Chain A
Amino acid sequence: MQTTNCFHCGDTCTGTPITFDEKPFCCAGCKTVYEIFSSNDLSYYYDLQEAAGTTPKAIEGKYDFLDNEEIISRLTEFNDGAVQIVNLYIPTIHCSSCIWILENLNKLNPQVTNSQVDFPQKTIRVTYKQEGISLKELVLLLAKIGYEPYISLEDFEGSKKTTDKSLLYKLGVAGFAFGNVMFLSFPEYFDLGSSAASGGEYWLNKYQDVFRWLMFVFSLPVVFYAASDYFVSAFKGLRAKILNIDVPIALGIVVLFLRSTFDITFNLGSGFFDSLTGLVFFLLLGKFFQQRTYSFLSFERDYKSYFPIAITRLTPNGKEETVPVQEIAKGDRILIRNEEMIPVDGKLTYGNAQIDYSFVSGESEPVSKKIGEQIFAGGKQLSGVIEMIASKSVSQSYLTQLWGNAVFKTDKATAFQNLTDSIGKRFTIGVLSIAFLATAFWLFYDPGKALNVFTAVLIIACPCAIALASPFTLGNMLRIFGKKKFYIKNTQTIEQLAKIDTAIFDKTGTITTTQKSTAHYEGMPLTPDEESILKNTIRASNHPLSRSLYDLLKEQDIITLDEYEEHIGNGLKSSKDDIKMKIGSANFVGKFTTENLMDTSIYISSNNAYKGRYVFHNQYREGLSSVFKNMSETLNLAILSGDNEGEKERLEALLPKLTPLYFNQKPETKLNFIKTLQDQGKKVLMVGDGLNDAGALAQSNVGIAISENINVFSPACDAILDASKFQQLYQYILASRKSIQIIKMSFVLSLLYNCIGLYFAVTGQLEPVIAAILMPLSSISIVVFTTIMTNLLGRKLS
């Protein structure tokens, strides 16, 4: 069969494609979006990028909470009763077509006056007239065209994020001052070593003071504003009795400024204002380079980003009302619709619950629950409407309690001493001892030069190049990894990753794929007729297992069944001619099993005789055994799974011998497991995917979340790895180790510069112009060196 791809979303059309306007569509949803676009003259959307669309999802009733005034006022950025402005996060924004269609929203609804997309953040800012379109209608409109906004509890509770622009301002100030001071220094550069007395250029010497004091004025904002972070950091370090790299930097800046001011006041020389401003500018540039990260990814998510804002509560007289999630109290009756998340622990009182707990426990298959049974927060209802009675409030539920653990309150950054700071200590001690030794020598030899030498040593030894090596190397690595779909939170994580000696993996969703599963058949062979009926029967079912089995069975002609019944929670019943088939659970088809089977199967019987069953397996990621084999060379490995032991044997065969496997692990046990390892002095890498790993990810030295789709939510972590790059994980770890070596090489290089500079300083010959050449030269060569080296390293990564 020839495969046709949907004109709207580009997916392969399974079954018969819907043809509309001579174009194929995979589903009615995609067709509707096309209709909307083409009838509003927006079909240019498809010219910009082929098959750019996203299939809209059914959302009936999901956004009813947006009618609530309080919720509206919390979500909107501006609201004066007539005009509202709202900022919405739309994860499906992915191409230029998306930007175009979303910025032309007013063609679809004239009440929208302005819409602006921020592509890197994947947000849209919409201004609209409240009387014409409500927030709910706006959200529904967006959802209808396949751009469903994601509104979570975090938006509701969280304060509006304000980005810190102070670094940009500081960089601007330093750059501005640097440029101007350089200009003003030109007369000094051209008129080297001459003064009015020795018969230099008369014209320049006459205005020397004006130039020098102007430079002084320019350096004031640089020292007192742009460089203020370094003073604060050095002071904090000293108070905590740590000699970090900012101590010699701050010392250098202070000495540079004081000595320069002293020089120009007493007309001793031109001062080092050019070096001073240049130094601060380069340092801030390094900081800026390091700071840029992935704004569209969030590494700080807790359960609030997953949970809905509001939920439907049933009043005692049977009416539905929408209430914010936090207001749910013990004993409330709650209505959960299809595909909605259960926000609190409670008891099921009505309906058939098929709950997907993959988020919480890592179990891959949905669990069915009967009326009266306990259901837990974090599960997703998969089949129809259910009702439940809350037994706890949201923050006290089983899942949300995990975030009460102290791990989530400690900041990993403070506990870790990075490479630059650890070298900073030795460096500071070294520089200070050289300065004092040289001063002592000159005091004895020529006391007039002693102060000059002392300040010169501190100026020239200012570790600008050392401070730049790490931000530029790691910042560049961050970008290279990002291109290879490995998104790291900050540069420090790379340093941590290089030190890892133990790697712990979660099973479901981490080393198994969620997209594919395989099954094999056990039992008596099915006749061709039975196979045909089987395929046609499960075609109509929406149960996730039926869907996956349907995709695995070979193509059959579509036939009309004489009879078809779906018994929710049990299975399917169908008949055609004289064959009656039952497909579903063991009890349903009449097979009595005494053994407690841990694998997932679909049982089949024909005319009340048991035929056989399809056993489902986890599909492991490609290259899993080779990844583990390579990693086991330098790392200790282990598997921590929330699932049962059903897959133990298959895993043992795949993984290197004696890899420890732990099953039935709860979120807290995973966390404690990692804590125990760390107490033994191990540096632990945790690789996980779900909320059930959140504690372990937070506790570990480096927590990597594996994600099939990086725009979909992953738990709080230090790095996000695209699932398609799982095989490269070990290469990435090796690359981060190599980037640490690059930093160490740059340290050696910059120490070389320092030695040259120190020679001039110690011998008392440091002229401002030498400092002005040496400082930018060392900084720039370090930047060039690290950039070339990291790019070479990046090229080796496949």
Chain B
Amino acid sequence: MSVIYVLLTISLVVAIIFFIAFIISVRHGQYDDSYTPSVRMLFEDELVKPKKSKVKSK
């Protein structure tokens, strides 16, 4: 089989994988709220602080 069929198949498979990933992400509601995750992401590090003080106080 000519190499072009192999390449076309690979490129199509990659494209379809991304397409499926998109469909799944929409279905899981990733596009419902596009603001809160951006804020939530910034909390992560600071959350450790109150936890530490909790350990100390005990």
Contacts and interface: CB of A to CB of B under 8 A. Distances in A.
A119 B40 CA distance: 10
Interface in A91-149: 96, 99-100, 103-104, 107, 116-121
Contact of B54 (A41, A168, A210): A41
Contacts of A107: 50
A220 to B, nearest CB: 14
A214 B32 contact: no
B35 A44 contact: no
A180 B8 CA distance: 11
B54 A169 contact: no
A171 to B, nearest CB: 10
Given A120-B35, A172-B23, A44 B46 contact: yes
Contact of A119 (B2, B5, B26, B36): B36
A41 B53 contact: yes
A266 interface: no
B10 interface: no
A179 B5 CA distance: 19
Nearest to B2: A207
Interface residues of A, number: 31
B45 to A, nearest CB: 11
A176 interface: yes
A202 interface: no
Given A44-B46, A99-B39, A168 B19 contact: no
Interface residues of B, number: 31
The majority secondary structure among interface residues of chain A is helix
A183 interface: yes
B32 A118 contact: yes
A163 interface: yes
Name the residue among B15, B50, B54 with the largest chain A CB count within 10 angstroms. Answer: B50
Given A165-B26, A176-B19, A183 B36 contact: no
Interface string B31-53: 11111100110110011011101
Contact of A172 (B22, B49, B50, B53): B22
B15 A180 contact: yes
B7 to A, nearest CB: 11
A169 B33 contact: no
A169 B51 CA distance: 42
Nearest to B27: A165
A323 interface: no
Interface of B: 2, 4-5, 8, 11-12, 15, 18-19, 22-23, 26-27, 31-36, 39-40, 42-43, 46-47, 49-51, 53-54, 57
Given A99-B43, A214-B12, 14 more contacts: A47-B46, A96-B39, A96-B42, A99-B40, A116-B36, A117-B36, A118-B33, A121-B33, A165-B26, A165-B31, A168-B31, A169-B23, A172-B23, A180-B15
Interface of A: 41-44, 47-48, 96, 99-100, 103-104, 107, 116-121, 163, 165, 168-169, 172-173, 176, 179-180, 183, 207, 210, 214
8 contacts: A99-B40, A103-B43, A119-B39, A120-B36, A165-B26, A168-B31, A172-B19, A176-B19
